[in-house]
Homo-oligomer: A and B are copies of this chain.
């Protein structure tokens, strides 16, 4: 059992650890329908690319149950599979529209839809059971994948090692172990002397609220800095590497991740410090040839003008609030996946890597 459980499936509903309330309060939001899960994703009760992919899978289970017992499902005496599937597709569209940038969301939805299609003609209760099983498998698999990422990534770190990270690519961003912080966890468990510096990550403060809390729970040394202090830290050479997660990686290795990531990559290059991205295969989107094609979510300006509900800017001031930025592959030293490490990622290296590992889509 993992210590930090951002998502709990109790067989009837999905409990989401409310990441808006952390670290002051550890409360769970009970989602009893796909719509409630969708609202929780949009409102950032749950966030982090892998975590929202897993949440979406369970949302599809909740939707499938409702659809399977709806009055319209029986076509005469038979279960109306086309109706069932088309309603599930509608749910999937709703879920995918909650947040556009992280590809794992759409990946989770698509995996569930594919399975539902394959189940066409099966006894309905059996089909529902198999869908639930797949969602649980996606959940368990996410943790297993993160642990493999952690093991591979750990080999990149010297000891002692000072690491700068951004946002939260930890247990809270996944089913329970973390990508970037999975690497940190694995290195720490392997006995390496680790010191993490966490950007606070405005506007949502994932660094100070989530990463600091999560590492504190594990006893891993962590210090906070404001986002603007990263350059100072990297220039003073107290940092061995930068490790971040990813929300979507294009076929050429361009990385969409939390706003502020690109700045770190530019600074790391300037100071010859390795810049690592830790992400599962499911974060790669081979349908996009470059990062230019990745849609960057723009969230409301009030996240910038307000802090915890308190206005910091004068009334009437507008804000631009892109939630992600794109880091070109040329600035990425390596991408750590569950299949191993892609050094100097570019289109050819990524293609060759996954082909050799049997992990191509």
Interface residues of A (CB under 8 A from B): 23-24, 166, 197, 199-203, 205, 208-209, 212-213, 216, 222-233, 235, 258-260, 262-263, 266-267, 270, 296, 301, 304-305, 307-308, 310-314, 316-322, 325-326
Select A325's contact among B227, B231, B307, B308, beta carbons within 8 Å: B231
Query: A235: nearest residue on chain B (CB-CB)?
Result: B262
In the bound assembly, the distance between CA atoms of A321 and B223 in angstroms comes to 10
In the bound assembly, the distance between CA atoms of A305 and B225 in angstroms comes to 9
Select A202's contact among B228, B235, B263, B301, beta carbons within 8 Å: B228
Contact present for B227 and A226 (CB under 8 Å): yes
Contact present for A200 and B260 (CB under 8 Å): no
Select A229's contact among B166, B212, B267, B320, beta carbons within 8 Å: B320
Contact present for B317 and A222 (CB under 8 Å): yes
B-chain residues with CB within 8 Å of residue A311 when the two chains form the complex: 24
Select A233's contact among B222, B304, B320, beta carbons within 8 Å: B320
Contact present for B313 and A231 (CB under 8 Å): no
Query: A23: nearest residue on chain B (CB-CB)?
Result: B314
In the bound assembly, the distance between CA atoms of A201 and B304 in angstroms comes to 11
Contact present for A228 and B260 (CB under 8 Å): yes
B-chain residues with CB within 8 Å of residue A202 when the two chains form the complex: 200, 202, 226-228
Contact present for B216 and A317 (CB under 8 Å): yes
Pick from A213, A235, A305 the residue with the most CB of B within 10 Å.
Answer: A235
B-chain residues with CB within 8 Å of residue A235 when the two chains form the complex: 262, 325-326
Contact present for A319 and B223 (CB under 8 Å): yes
Listed by A's residue number, 21 A-B pairs whose Cβ atoms lie within 8 Å are A23-B314, A202-B227, A205-B312, A209-B313, A212-B314, A213-B317, A216-B316, A216-B317, A223-B319, A225-B320, A228-B259, A229-B259, A231-B260, A231-B325, A232-B296, A232-B325, A233-B320, A235-B262, A235-B326, A308-B312, A310-B310
Please judge, given known A-B contacts A308-B307, A313-B208, whether A267 and B263 are in contact too, CB under 8 Å.
yes
Give, as a whole number of angstroms, the nearest-CB distance from A144 to chain B: 28
In the bound assembly, the distance between CA atoms of A213 and B313 in angstroms comes to 7
Considering the complex of A and B, which 8 residue pairs feature the smallest CB-CB distances, nearest first? Answer: A228-B260, A231-B263, A23-B314, A224-B319, A202-B226, A208-B313, A232-B325, A231-B262
B-chain residues with CB within 8 Å of residue A258 when the two chains form the complex: 228
In the bound assembly, the distance between CA atoms of A203 and B314 in angstroms comes to 17
In the bound assembly, the distance between CA atoms of A50 and B317 in angstroms comes to 26
Please judge, given known A-B contacts A213-B314, A307-B307, A313-B208, whether A226 and B321 are in contact too, CB under 8 Å.
yes
Give, as a whole number of angstroms, the nearest-CB distance from A101 to chain B: 13
In the bound assembly, the distance between CA atoms of A319 and B197 in angstroms comes to 9
Contact present for A200 and B312 (CB under 8 Å): yes
Taking A223-B319, A226-B260 as given, write out 9 further A-B residue pairs in contact, using a Cβ cutoff of 8 Å, ordered by the A residue number.
Answer: A202-B228, A208-B304, A213-B313, A223-B317, A224-B317, A229-B322, A231-B266, A232-B325, A263-B267
